Amino acid sequence: MTITVAGLSAKNIEEIHIAIKEDEKESGGASFEGKTGAWFTGLLSKAAKGAAEVGVDVVSSTISKALGNYMGG
């Protein structure tokens, strides 16, 4: 069974947690210029190609807003 949050699979959620932790180790926090940003743009690219569990609208609005809020922006 696949668990989803905002349309993300458990694998996507695990990947963003890893990216945030790695960014925190390297620069003290998640960053759109670090691994967190790379995860986001990768997911956006997959969604645009129809290869993600979520659509472009979810990635570009819901997930970007959630990441922005998390990062204090």
Domain map (residue ranges) of the chain: 10-70
Q: Using CA atoms, how far apart are residues 67 and 56, in angstroms rounded to an integer?
A: 15
Whether residue 64 contacts residue 56, with contact meaning beta carbons closer than 8 Å, is answered with no
* pLDDT, tens digit (0-9, with 9 covering 90-100), for 2-49: 445 667 778 888 998 899 899 999 988 888 889 999 998 898 888 888
- C-alpha count within 13 angstroms, C-beta hemisphere, residue 53: 13
| Residue 48 amino acid letter | A
Neighbouring C-beta atoms of residue 47, cutoff 10 Å:
20
pLDDT at 54 > cutoff 50? yes
Average pLDDT over residues 50-68: 78
Task: Read off the tokens for 42.
Answer: 């990768």
